[in-house]
């Protein structure tokens, strides 16, 4: 089974949700396309542990010009609405923060790590300490909260009800 949903945010910004479910796996991809640049959040169900894993948030790193502009918030708000409609509150959601693409300069690299930790904690995740670049985040789905009030690129709400997305 595949579900594909799409929504135009503006003339040059669109968002899509793709959910694939089969006997072996379940995957959720939520994307933003901004002037041809794609930012994507990837989440998968681990059927062996019956938990959700945030695989990656791509395209909005330090050098992208999108970090701190609401793109990650928009994507996770959208994903969280979908997850809360399809999985029980008791399911574990986890992930591992990555330093890939961070600057080499120590002060800037530390600022990026702090920004990343604060981002995930703002949704309700607990940061589990580890070696630098290997910190984990985890929470039960029911503990995670949607963040209203932020603006995507300073213009558009970071919270759009998924009922406003249309099937492709």
CB 57, CB 101: distance < 8 Å: no
What's the structural domain count of the chain? 1
CATH assignment of the domain containing 136: 3.40.630
Residue 27, pLDDT above cutoff 90: yes
What is the predicted pLDDT for the residue at 131? 77
Print the domain residue range for 20. Answer: 2-167
The conformation of residue 141, written as its DSSP 8-state character, comes to: G
Nearest-CA neighbor of 98 among 136, 139, 42?
Answer: 136
Return d(Cα 106, Cα 92) in angstroms, integer. 33
pLDDT tens-digit profile of 98-131? 888 889 999 998 999 999 999 999 999 999 988 7
pLDDT higher at 24 or 56:
56
- Residues near 33 by beta carbon (within 8 Å), at least 6 away in sequence: 13, 14, 15, 16
pLDDT of the residue at 98? 86
Cβ neighbours of residue 128 under 8 Å, at least 6 residues apart?
Answer: 135, 136, 137, 138
Q: Which has more pLDDT, 123 or 135?
A: 123
Which residues are paired to 54 by β-bridges?
43, 95
Instruction: Compute the average pLDDT of residues 34-51.
Output: 93
Distance from C-alpha of 40 to C-alpha of 57, rounded to nearest angstrom: 6
Using 50, 70 and 90 to split pLDDT, how confident is the model at 47? confident
Angle at 90 between CA 80 and CA 40, to 5 degrees: 25
Report the sign of the C-alpha dihedral through residues 86, 34, 136, 120, in that order: negative
As a whole number of angstroms, the distance between CA 125 and CA 123 comes to 6
> Mean of the per-residue pLDDT values for the chain?
93
């Amino acid at each position: 089974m595949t579900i594909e949903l799409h929504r135009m945010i503006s003339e040059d910004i669109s968002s899509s949700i793709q959910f694939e479910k089969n006997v072996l796996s379940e995957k959720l991809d939520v994307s933003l396309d901004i002037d041809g640049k794609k930012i994507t959040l990837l989440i998968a169900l681990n059927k062996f542990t019956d938990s959700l894993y945030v695989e990656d948030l791509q395209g909005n790193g330090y050098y992208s010009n999108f970090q701190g502009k609401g793109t990650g918030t928009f994507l996770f708000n959208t994903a969280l609405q979908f997850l809360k409609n399809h999985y029980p509150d008791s399911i574990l959601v986890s992930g591992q923060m990555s330093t890939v693409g961070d600057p080499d300069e120590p002060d800037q690299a530390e600022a990026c790590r702090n920004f990343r930790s604060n981002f995930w904690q703002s949704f309700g995740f607990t940061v589990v300490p580890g070696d630098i670049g290997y910190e984990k985040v985890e929470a039960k789905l029911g503990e995670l909260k949607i963040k209203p009030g932020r603006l995507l690129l300073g213009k558009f709400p970071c919270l759009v009800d998924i009922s406003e997305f249309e099937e492709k």
